C-alpha cells in the first residue's frame, strides 16, 4: 500500500476480505499453522462498528466452523462468511454515487504478509 490512508465516507461500508494469505497464512489450516497474520487485528480495530465484514474463502466448507472459531477466538468480528469459492480473481462491480463518491475499492496484498500498511480515514466530505 502507500503512506496515504484509504479515505472513506462516513457511510456504512461492506468489507469483502479474503481469508488465506490476507488474514491467515495461505493453506495454514492444511499445515496446522492456522494463525492470524500481522496487521489483521489492527485493521479490524479501524473498521467502524456499523460496517459489515464478509469473509471470503476458497477453503472447503468443511473447514468453515473451525475457521470461524479461530477468528472469533482472535477477537475478529465476521458478519458473514462464504467458503468454497473459486481460487481465481474476485471481481467487485459497483456504481458510483451521483455526486461522485467512488463506491468500490480494491487492495491487493503480498501473500502471507498481512494488512500491515492499511490505514483508514473517514471523511464527512465524501
Contact status, residue 24 vs residue 18, Cβ threshold 8 Å: no
The model's pLDDT over 32-48, given as tens digits with 9 standing for 90+, comes to 778 999 999 999 999 99
Structurally, what CATH architecture does the domain formed by 6-123 represent? 3-Layer(aba) Sandwich (3.40)
The model's pLDDT over 50-64, given as tens digits with 9 standing for 90+, comes to 999 999 999 999 999
The reported pLDDT for the residue numbered 2 is: 55
The answer, as to whether pTM is greater than 0.75, is yes
The reported pLDDT for the residue numbered 30 is: 78
- What CA–CA distances, in Å, run from 85 to 18, 23, 58? 10, 16, 4
Going by pLDDT thresholds of 50, 70 and 90, the confidence category of residue 28 is confident
Domain ranges of the chain: 6-123
The model's pLDDT over 96-110, given as tens digits with 9 standing for 90+, comes to 999 889 999 999 999
- C-alpha atoms less than 13 angstroms from C-alpha of 74 in its C-beta half-sphere: 23
Amino acid at each position: 500500500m502507500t503512506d496515504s490512508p484509504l479515505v472513506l465516507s462516513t457511510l456504512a461500508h461492506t468489507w469483502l476480505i479474503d481469508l488465506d494469505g490476507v488474514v491467515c497464512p495461505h493453506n495454514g489450516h492444511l499445515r496446522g499453522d492456522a494463525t492470524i497474520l500481522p496487521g489483521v487485528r489492527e485493521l479490524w480495530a479501524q473498521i467502524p462498528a456499523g460496517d459489515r465484514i464478509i469473509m471470503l474463502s476458497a477453503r472447503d466448507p468443511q473447514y468453515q466452523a473451525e475457521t470461524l472459531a479461530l477468528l472469533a477466538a482472535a477477537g475478529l468480528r465476521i458478519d458473514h462468511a462464504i467458503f468454497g469459492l473459486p481460487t481465481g480473481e474476485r471481481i467487485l462491480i459497483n456504481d458510483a454515487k451521483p455526486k461522485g463518491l467512488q463506491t468500490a475499492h480494491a487492495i491487493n496484498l503480498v501473500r502471507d504478509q498481512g494488512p500491515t500498511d492499511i490505514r483508514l480515514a473517514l471523511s464527512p466530505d465524501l
